[in-house]
């Protein structure tokens, strides 16, 4: 009896200690610094600008576009984000079954993990780059991914419509342009469209992650073609039509700081920065250069 009670106590202590130990080492399980609970924290959905809405949890963007003839959704976030995103869409008065398209930034579990469920629940068509479609069908287990072996798998996504680089797709009154921006993953894609409110139209950019991170042992510099493509992707993002920059990780573009400065729900001013894509790309370029220098110097990479 005593030993059982002791065991129960020890188990309780262990379970109390584990989350704290995890919190001290946020990057222990992957090079992404995966903290899925924090990423999936609830967030009230809201209008970003015009027909563009934020419907993701707090730490991962999911962007809804109301085209007037159906909805387009950018990213499904983590597998456990799908019900959060669906509840947010309903809370805004939209219907999940009106999602016609689901578009993906890149095929990692924190942006594509919820797509299979969202596809099933909505009947939407999923759209991605050629490499992105291949990666999503593998559920993120792509050997060509710099972070291969380091990231969680997720429910694979099938029946993906492949879009070419530069391809423009139209739904309702909205034209969405596909920009291949490989580097973070081979299938990384950025998307642009225009949203209008009160007669003022702004250029919206959903620019993909440009971080040169990897599983240990991987070297970007082993493949000059990959490095050249990464540099081109950074230049592509720098040149995107971009009044409002959105990123798959909101904090990568200081999104919440900008939102906090809004004076009302329709105040767009703090979100507008025509130099934001250039600055985002410049920062990525510096980090890529630092990473390559590190690889050439033969010092440890992560």
List interacting residues with Zn ion (CB under 5 A): 108
The neighbour count for residue 73, using CB atoms within 10 Å, is 29
Which structure tokens are listed for 137?
A: 């069908």
Tell me which DSSP letter residue 294 carries: H
Q: What is the largest CA-CA distance in the chain?
A: 75
Half-sphere exposure of 252 (CA within 13 A, CB side): 21
Summarize the chain as % helix, strand, coil (round to 5). 40, 20, 40
Residues 234, 285: Cα–Cα separation, whole Å = 7
Helices 82-91 and 115-122, axial angle in degrees (round to 10):
50
């Amino acid at each position: 009896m005593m030993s059982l009670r002791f065991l129960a106590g020890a188990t309780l202590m262990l379970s109390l200690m584990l989350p704290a130990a995890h919190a001290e080492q946020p990057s222990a399980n992957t090079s992404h610094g995966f903290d899925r609970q924090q990423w999936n924290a609830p967030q009230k959905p809201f209008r970003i600008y015009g027909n563009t809405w934020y419907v993701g949890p707090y730490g991962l963007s999911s962007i809804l576009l109301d085209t007037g003839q159906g909805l387009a959704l950018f990213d499904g976030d983590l597998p456990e984000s799908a019900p959060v995103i669906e509840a947010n869409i309903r809370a805004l008065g939209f219907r999940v079954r009106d999602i016609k398209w689901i578009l993906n930034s890149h095929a990692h579990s924190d942006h594509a993990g919820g797509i299979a469920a969202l596809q099933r629940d909505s009947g939407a068509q999923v759209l991605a780059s050629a490499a992105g479609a291949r990666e999503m069908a593998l559920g993120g287990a792509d050997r060509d991914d710099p972070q291969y072996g380091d990231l969680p798998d997720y429910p694979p996504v099938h029946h993906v419509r492949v879009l070419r680089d530069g391809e423009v797709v139209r739904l309702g009154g909205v034209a969405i342009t596909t920009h291949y921006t490989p580097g973070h993953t081979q299938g990384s894609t950025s998307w642009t469209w225009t949203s209008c409110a009160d007669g003022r139209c702004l250029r919206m950019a959903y620019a993909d992650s440009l971080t040169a991170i990897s599983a240990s042992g991987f070297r970007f510099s082993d493949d000059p073609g990959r490095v050249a493509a990464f540099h081109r992707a950074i230049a592509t993002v720098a040149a995107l039509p971009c009044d409002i920059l959105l990123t798959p990780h909101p904090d990568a573009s200081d999104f919440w700081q900008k939102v906090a400065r809004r004076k009302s729900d329709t105040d767009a001013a703090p979100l507008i920065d025509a130099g934001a894509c250039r600055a985002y790309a410049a920062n990525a370029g510096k980090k890529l250069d630092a990473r390559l220098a590190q690889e050439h110097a033969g010092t440890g990479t992560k």
